Amino acid sequence: MNEEFILPVHVAELTGLPVGALAQLRYMGRGPRFYKPTPKKVLYKRSEVIAWVEASAQTQTGQTALLGR
């Protein structure tokens, strides 16, 4: 297993999201997959965080993008 685990503070640096926003995403069941090896420790896999960000790629914003206008 050669996967790099990172802390929420490093995910925040990587994504630009505040650590609190990451906590809210975890609570809502959204955001990148995370791991809890102990009740108070939260870890992410760097590759999964990057994949989550890349999966959010858009070419337009707003409702018109959804309607194909």
pLDDT tens figures, 21-58: 999 999 999 999 999 999 999 999 999 999 999 999 98
Among 6, 56, 62, 5, CA closest to 31: 56
DSSP lists the bridge partners of residue 46 as none
The per-residue pLDDT for 29 is 95
44: its two tokens: 């992410």
SS3 of 18, please? coil
Using the 8-state DSSP alphabet, how is residue 4 labeled?
Answer: P
What is the C-alpha separation between 9 and 53, in angstroms, rounded? 16
What is the C-alpha separation between 46 and 4, in angstroms, rounded? 6
Model confidence, pTM = 0.81
Q: Give the least confident one: 3-7, 34-38, 60-64.
A: 60-64
Residue indicated by tokens 């505040």: 18
